[in-house]
């Protein structure tokens, strides 16, 4: 005859299964990230120069030159705008010694206590 499983043993088995699924999924995602990172990273160009090659430096294309000009213009505009900013700290407006809300609450409290007398 088969002995029925106790509730405690069943709960431990369910917990172990759930935890193994969670950690398995985490390890699978980690492995996928490692593989994707290895496949998508740019390879560093070799630092060895070929001394036999006497080719001149590449001439910038008009498109690259216009991108450089646009970047320089953006930096110049940002610097000019930064120097023209005239922001200053706002001064707090003068306030009454007791605000209207405080006066109303104090009046209500005094009338509830019975110490407020109208003349």
pLDDT tens profile 71-81: 999 999 988 88
Between the alpha carbon of residue 25 and those of residues 11, 28, 31, 32, 106, the distances in Å are 21, 5, 10, 10, 62
Does residue 52 surpass a pLDDT of 60? no
Q: What are the start-end ranges of the H helices in the chain?
A: 7-40, 62-84, 100-113
Which is more confidently placed, 96 or 15?
Answer: 15
Q: What's the confidence (pLDDT) of residue 11?
A: 95
Predicted TM-score (pTM) above 0.75: no
**Average pLDDT in the chain:** 81
The Cα–Cα gap between 114 and 39 comes to 82
Q: What's the confidence (pLDDT) of residue 31?
A: 97
Which is more confidently placed, 69 or 1?
Answer: 69
Side-chain-side CA neighbours of 103 within 13 Å: the count stands at 5
Q: What's the confidence (pLDDT) of residue 55?
A: 63
What number is the average pLDDT over the span 62-68?
Answer: 80
Q: What's the confidence (pLDDT) of residue 96?
A: 61
Q: What's the confidence (pLDDT) of residue 30?
A: 97
Per-domain boundaries in the chain: 10-40
């Amino acid at each position: 005859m088969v002995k029925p499983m106790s509730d405690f043993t069943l709960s431990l088995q369910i917990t172990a299964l759930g935890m193994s699924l969670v950690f398995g999924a985490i390890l699978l995602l980690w492995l996928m990230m490692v593989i994707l990172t290895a496949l998508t990273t740019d390879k560093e160009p070799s630092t060895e120069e070929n001394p036999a090659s006497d080719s001149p430096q590449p001439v910038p294309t008009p498109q690259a030159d216009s991108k450089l000009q646009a970047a320089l213009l953006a930096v110049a505009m940002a610097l000019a705008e930064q120097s023209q900013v005239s922001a200053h700290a706002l001064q707090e407006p003068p306030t009454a010694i007791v605000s209207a809300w405080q006066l109303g609450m104090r009046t209500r409290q005094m009338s509830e206590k019975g110490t407020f007398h109208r003349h």
